A and B are shown apart, each in its own frame.
Chain A
Amino acid sequence: MTANITNRKSNSLDWFDTFWKKQGSNIIPPVLGILGFLLIWQLFSSSGLTKLPGPLSIWTDERTRTLLLYPFYDLGGLDKGLFWQTLASLGRVAQGYSLAALIGISVGILVGTQPLINKALDPLFQFLRMVAPLAWVPIALVALQQNQPAAIFVIFITSVWPILINTAEGVRQIPDDYNNVAKVLQLSRKEYYLNILLPAALPYIFTGLRIAIGLAWLAIIAAEIVMSGIVGIGFFIWDAYQQNYVSEIILAVVYIGTVGLLLDRAVAYLQKVIAPTEQK
C-alpha cells in the first residue's frame, strides 16, 4: 500500500520534472517580467509619486476584495459580480462579431471576385474604416434608439473591416493555378466556392478574424462606457470611476486584459484547427 503511494507520488514528481525541464524556460521569463512590473508599480504608488493605487490595493481595499473573491454574486439590477459583467459584455461581442464575420466574409468574397463592385465600394470602405468606434456610438444610439442593439452595431461596424478587407485580399490572392484547375474542370459555382475559393482564402480570412476579435473587444468597452445603465464591464468601469473606486477599475482592467488574451488565443486555436499554416 505504502509502496504504491510512494510510487504514484514519484510518478507525478517525474511528470512534473519533465514538464519543468521542457517548459521551464518558457514560463520563468514572463512570470519574472510580470512580477517586476507589479513591483515597480507598487513602489511608485507607495512612494506617493502618483495617486494611482498600487496592485496590492486590489486586496487591501475591502470593496475590491469582495469583488475579487465573489465574482458570481448577483444582487439584481446593475449590482452583479465581475463574471456576470464580463459575460454580458462578451455576449454583445459574440453577437456583433458573428454578424461582422458573416457579413465581412460574404461581402469580402463578393468584392474579391467582382472587380467592378470592388471599384465601386472600395473608397466607401476605406472611408468608413477610418471612423473611430466611439464616433459610431452617438450615431448608433440615434439610429437604433436602444442601448443593446446600438452596442452590437458598434462592435459590428468596428470589427467588420479587417474581416472584409482580408477576405477580399485572400480571394484576390488565390493563385491562378487553382483558378485554372477550376476552369479546366469546369467546376460549378458552388463546387468552386467550397473546394477552391474558401480553402484558398482561409488563411487570409483568419488573419482578418483575429484582428477583428481584438477590435471588437476594444469597442465594447468603449461603447459601454458611454451607454449608461447597462450590465457590462465597460459600464462597470465608468460607474467605479464616477464613485472614485479606483482599485475596482484596476481589477476590471485585469479582467478585460485576460479576456482579450483568451479571445485572441481562441481564434488562433480555431485557425490552427481549421486552416493549418503548413499549407503552401
Chain B
Amino acid sequence: MSIFVAVDQVDKVFPLTDGGEYVALKGIDLKIKKGEFVSFIGHSGCGKSTLLNMIAGLSLPTEGVITLEGQRIKRPGPDRMVVFQNYSLLPWRTVQENIALAVNSVMKDLPKAERQAIIDHHIDMVGLRPHADKPPAMLSGGQKQRVAIARALAIRPKLLLLDEPFGALDALTRGNLQEQLMKICEEHQVTVIMVTHDVDEAVLLSDRIIMLTNGPGSQIGQILDVDIPRPRKRMEVVEHPTYYVLRSEIIYFLNQQKRIKKLRAKKISVVSRHGLEKVNLDMGFVPLTACAPLAIAKEKGLFQKHGLDEVNLVRETSWRGIVDGITGGYLDAAQMPSGMPFWLTLGGHQNKLLPVVSAMTMTRNGNAITLDKRFYDQGIHTLNDFKKMLLGSPERQHRMGLVHPSSMHNLLLRYWLAAGGIDPDRDLSLQGIPPAQMIVDLQKGTIDGFCVGEPWNTRAAMERVGFTVATDLEIWSGHPGKVLGVRENWATAYPNTHIALVKALLEASQYCADPANEQEVRQIIAQREYLSTDMAYIQLGSASEPVCELDQPMREYAHHLFFGDGVNRPSRTEHLWHMTQLARWGHTPFPRNWVEIMERVCRVSVFSTAARELGILDVKYTTGSIQMFDGAVFTADDPISYLNNLQIKRDFSITDVILDSPRLAGAA
C-alpha cells in the first residue's frame, strides 16, 4: 500500500515568553500507510500531542512538511477529524445535535434525509440511542467519549486522530471502548493515529507503535511493529507470544527515557585522583552469576584499593540497557557479552559504528541450553531428537529465547543448532528476552527453550519447568562468557583508569576462583543489589564436575571460570570467532580489514600491563585453535574461507569497515 500520511523532517519550535525558544520536536520522519493504526507513546511533554496537532493542521511545523495523500497539510479540515482528550462536546447541544453539527457542516451537499440517516446510524453504532436527546452533562465519561467518536466517524474522515481518547476513563469502560473502537476501525478501514501513554492500550490497538524520546528536541526513539493478528480480543492478545515482548520493550524504552532525563539533570564531572584520570565510574552489569567479579570488586573494596574511589555499579535488567548506556555515554564501562565489543564496533546497534574495546575476559562458561520439560517427557534428550521433533512438526512455530544478538548465548545456540542441521532462523524463531524473564516465558509456553547464563538454567531445572539439554562444556568448553568493554574514546581519554579497572577486576576474578571463597561469593551475589535471588540457585561450580546428567535430578551446575591459565587475557582467535559468527548470522558485516579492527578492539596490552603490575606473571596463555563439539576446529588463519565453507548461514557481506580515528572522550 502506498504512503498515506508522510511526516518529513519536521521540527516544532515554540517561542518562550522570555524571548527564548523551546524545541519540542526535532527531525521527525514518519510514513503511515492507508488503513494503518499507529500509536504515539512517550512521557508527558515529549511532544506526541504536538505531533498529532500538526497532522491535524491545528498547528504548523516550524520546519519540514506533513502531507496527506501527497497534499501538504496547512490547515485543519474534516478529512482529519480529531477526537480530543476531553471529548470537546458542545454542552449546549444534545448528543444528536452535536453529531448533527459536524454532519451538517461537512456534508452540506447531501439531502437532509440522508444526513439525518447518517446521524442516526452513528448514534446507533455507539449504542447511544436512548441518550440521543440528552445534553453531554447528563452522560458518563465513557458515553461522552463514544459521542465524540461517533461525531468523528460520522463525517467519514480519511484519517482519525485520537488524543489520549481513553485517558480519563475507568478500566472497565476503557476496555469496552477499546474493543468497540477496534471493531469500528476494522469495519470501516479507517487510518488511525492515536496518542496514548497506556502501554497495553498501544499494544492492543496498534499496528505500529512510535515511541518518542523525551523533550526538548524529541525524536522518534524506536518504532515497534505489532504482529499480533487481527481481529484482536482484549483478553486474548495477552496470550500471544510477542505480547509481553512488545510490552516489555515499550516499558524498557519509557524507563530508559526517564533515566536519561535524570542523567541529564545530574551534573557530569570527572574526578581525577591518585594519578588516575577518572575515579568516579558508572559501571553497568546484568544480574547473572557471571557478575561475580564486579560484585566482589565492589564489596571487597578492590576498586578503592586500585584508586577507583567512586565506582557505582548500575544494575541493568537486560543487555539492551548496557548497549544504551555505552552508546549513550552514561556508562563508563560495562560487563558485556563476549560478542558485544565487536557487535558495537561493526555497527550492530542501529547500523552505527561505535568503536568499543575489550581488555579483559571476565568469565568463561556458565551458559547452557534449556528446553521445555515436556520435551524431556517426550523422550527428546539430544540435539538429534530435537531436530527430528522440529522437522516432524513444521506446522508449529517453535520459539527459543536468547538474551542479545551479540551474546555468546545467541552464537552458541545457533552454532549448536546449525551443527545439528537445524537452521536457527528457518526451523525456529529466536527471540530476544531479558534473562530474568526466560523462566516465566518458558512456563507460559511462549518459548520452547532458551540459551542463557546462570542461574537461569539451574533454576529452570530446579523448578522443573525445563531441563538442560546441553551445557557449554559440551559445545565449547571454556568459551568466553562476559568481557569488560569500554568505548574506545573512553579508553583513549582515561588510559590509567582503564588499567586500574582491569587490575581491580582481575584481582576480584582471582578471589572468585578460589574455592575457599565460594560460599562468600555466592552469598554476596545473591543479595538484593545483585541477583536478588535464593542462594541455592547460584552455583559457581568447577569444570571438573560432571557434565549435565539427563537422569534425575535434571539439573546441572554452572562451572564458571573466573581466573586461571588463559582465562582472562583477551584472545584474538576467540574474538575472530565472534566476528565470523556475527557475520554468519547476518548481524554485522565481516570486515575485510579484520586484522586492523582486531587491533583496535582487542587490547591485550592493557591486560598485560595490569597483570604485570599485579605481579601475576605465571599465568599461561593459550593461543591457537578452538576445538568445537562437532569436531570443527577454528583457527585464525583464514576466516573468510571458513565462513564460505559453512553449511548453514545467512547471506553475509564482507566490507571494508572504516572506523573514525580514536578521539578523546571530551571531544566526543
Question: Which residues of A are in contact with B by a Cβ distance under 8 Å?
Answer: 175, 177-178, 180-181, 183-188, 191, 195-196, 199-200, 202, 275, 278-280
Contact = CB atoms under 8 A, between A and B. Distances in A.
Contact of B76 (A178, A184, A200, A279): A184
Secondary structure dominating the interface of B? loop
Interface residues of B, number: 23
B78 A185 contact: yes
Contacts of B135: 279
Interface string B73-85: 0011110111010
Given A195-B93, A278-B137, 5 more contacts: A177-B86, A177-B88, A186-B78, A202-B92, A279-B92
B643 interface: no
B91 interface: yes
Given A278-B137, A280-B137, A184 B90 contact: no
B101 A185 contact: yes
A181 B88 contact: yes
A187 B100 CA distance: 13
Contacts of A181: 84, 88, 90
A185 B92 CA distance: 18
A184 B105 contact: no
Given A184-B58, A279-B135, A196 B78 contact: no
Contact of B88 (A180, A191, A202, A275): A180
B76 A180 contact: yes
B91 A279 contact: yes
Given A177-B88, A180-B88, A185 B102 contact: yes
Interface of B: 56, 58, 75-78, 80-82, 84, 86, 88, 90-93, 101-102, 105-106, 135, 137, 155
A188 B105 CA distance: 8
Contacts of A200: 90, 92
A180 to B, nearest CB: 6
Contacts of A191: 105
A187 B106 CA distance: 8
Contacts of B101: 185, 195
A196 B90 contact: yes
Nearest 3 CB-CB pairings of A with B: A177-B88, A279-B91, A199-B92
User: Interface SS of chain A: helix, strand, loop or mixed?
Assistant: helix
A185 B78 CA distance: 5
A175 B56 CA distance: 18
B137 A184 contact: no
A189 to B, nearest CB: 12
Contact of B90 (A195, A275, A278): A195
Contacts of A196: 90
16 contacts: A175-B88, A177-B84, A177-B86, A178-B88, A178-B90, A181-B84, A181-B88, A184-B56, A184-B80, A185-B155, A186-B106, A200-B90, A279-B91, A279-B92, A279-B135, A280-B137
B82 A184 contact: yes
Contacts of B80: 184
A200 to B, nearest CB: 8
A187 B105 contact: yes
Contacts of B105: 185-188, 191
A183 B90 contact: no
B485 to A, nearest CB: 50
A178 B92 CA distance: 12
A278 B137 CA distance: 8
A24 B148 CA distance: 46
B55 to A, nearest CB: 12
A73 B307 CA distance: 111
B84 A280 contact: no
A90 to B, nearest CB: 31
A192 to B, nearest CB: 10
A184 B77 contact: yes
Nearest to B102: A185
